[in-house]
Structure 1
Amino acid sequence: MLNLIYLVAITAEAMTGALAARRRNMDVFGVLVIAFVTALGGGTVRDIFLGHFPVAWTQHPGYLYLVLSAGLLTMLTAPFLRHLREIFLVLDAMGLMAFTLIGCNVALTMGYAVPVVMIAGMLTGVFGGVLRDVLCNRVPVVFQRELYASVSLAAGGLFLLLRAADVDPDLSTAVSFSLGLALRLVAIWRGWRLPTSAQSEAIKVGREDRHGALHE
């Protein structure tokens, strides 16, 4: 199950990278670089963070061919695709969930404690997108009040709970992936956001103003 999800994840994230690079009018080389970084950057950072060597993709050249092919195909077909933003968000959500679960599983197999497993899953899930957005001169999605890293943590936590309850690994993966993906898509659809520091300060000031008015 995880192997299948990994293939889906790197394909989906390579496509989001290619779409982001195309919006910045990059050439073919730029598109392929962004596709590669988006698809494999999170796993690379995770492996370095955990001391998991050699880095996973270096042992499987087929992953490189898949990522570069997905990026190139996306660049060629993008002009004929409508609703590119919707496609981008769905693919990114799929990649986020898949990489989160893969990162958690890698850390689990290495015997790390639960907090480290959760962080490894989140890093794997979000860091490829962070690199994509930074290289495309955009504020990363994870820093834009989106329910993004929080959804990654929720999916990773559910995965660990199901594994601790001795649920079948494939079922644990499928349930965590499906519910995490559903939560991310609903958050996009409903416009759910995390509060910002400015909003918190405004609420605090408003309460102080109301408190002062009551005592005048």
Structure 2
Amino acid sequence: MWNLPPSDTVLHVLSLVALAAQAMTAALAAGRRSMDWVGVCLLGCVTALGGGTIRDVLLGHYPLAWVQNPSYLALTAVAAFATILIARAVHRLSIAFLVLDAIGLVVFTMAGCDVARQLNESLPIVIVSGMITGCAGGVLRDILCNDIPLLFRAELYASVSIVTGLFYASAFGLKLNDEAWTALTFAVGLSFRLLAIRYKWEMPKFVFDDERR
């Protein structure tokens, strides 16, 4: 899907679950904005697939993941549409979706790093590719919903992606067990994100009031 190595079966399954979860959370956001059914499905697809699409376009990596595998597009659209039917039940599962979103952030970040590595990009590009894959879909969702993107708020989100990418990429070129390092990176990134949510860790805010000069 996001060009994960075939051996990473567990991460591949997690990424499918995360795709569906991101599409469903986007559908809930669309519902709060009173979008029609087409808008709900489109927002779900943009949110779930947007990060990987932007990454591939910037890196010149074709075909795009959802073009090569239309089933991913179908998965996100169906998940978003299903949310319309079970919205009240889904709304009560906010904690579960926070966990699934954290899983998606970590898995997509590693997948983005893998794509850039396969293209022999430099370390900074590898890290940025991971962050784009993990975060850009949510930015697009928030922009389309006329909200300030979560990425630009104080909450630790992009920071988690950067740390995950750095940790994951640190194994590149070293003779380490790929599966073990992938599992360790997943654990580190997921723990970091969940701890940030639990203890409300935030980045410093820049507050400027022009009237108080």
**TM-score, normalised via structure 2 length:** 0.87
Cα offset for 1:82? Answer: 4.8
**Alpha-carbon distance in 2 for matches of 1:97, 1:19:** 22
Q: Counterpart of 1:79?
A: 88
Q: Which amino acid aligns with 2:122?
A: A
Q: Counterpart of 2:184?
A: 175
After TM superposition, the structure 1 stretch with the greater mean CA deviation from structure 2, 182-191 or 16-25, is 16-25
Which string of whole-angstrom CA distances, capped at 9 and with x for unpartnered residues, describes residues 10-55 of structure 1?
2222122112112222221111011000011001100011111121
Q: Which amino acid aligns with 2:187?
A: S
Q: Counterpart of 1:26?
A: 35
**Alpha-carbon distance in 2 for matches of 1:77, 1:187:** 29
**Alpha-carbon distance in 1 for matches of 2:204, 2:19:** 31
**Count of residue correspondences:** 200
Q: Which amino acid aligns with 1:171?
A: A
Contact 2:83 2:90 survives alignment (8 Å): no
Q: Counterpart of 2:114?
A: 105
Cα offset for 1:64? Answer: 1.2
**Alpha-carbon distance in 2 for matches of 1:113, 1:184:** 26
Cα offset for 1:92? Answer: 2.1
Q: Counterpart of 2:195?
A: 186
Q: Counterpart of 1:47?
A: 56
**Alpha-carbon distance in 1 for matches of 2:28, 2:98:** 11
Which string of whole-angstrom CA distances, capped at 9 and with x for unpartnered residues, describes residues 63-107 of structure 1?
111111111222221212353543443232222111111100000
Q: Counterpart of 1:212?
A: none
TM alignment of 1:109-128, pairs within 5 A: 109-128=118-137
Out of 192, 196, 204, the residue aligned to residue 195 of structure 1 is 204
Q: Counterpart of 2:77?
A: 68
Contact 2:51 2:137 survives alignment (8 Å): yes
Of the two, which has the highest radius of gyration? 1
Unaligned runs of 5+ in 1: 202-216
Unaligned runs of 5+ in 2: 1-7
Q: Counterpart of 2:3?
A: none
Between Structure 1 and Structure 2, which shows a larger proportion of helix residues? 1
Root-mean-square deviation (CA), in Å? 1.9
Change beyond 3 A, Cα 1:185–1:169: same
1:58 and 2:57 matched: no
Q: Counterpart of 2:143?
A: 134
4+ long deviations beyond 6 Å: none
Q: Counterpart of 2:170?
A: 161
Out of 28, 37, 43, the residue aligned to residue 46 of structure 2 is 37
**TM-score, normalised via structure 1 length:** 0.85
**Alpha-carbon distance in 1 for matches of 2:23, 2:180:** 26
Contact 2:110 2:164 survives alignment (8 Å): yes
Q: Counterpart of 2:103?
A: 94
Cα offset for 1:114? Answer: 0.7
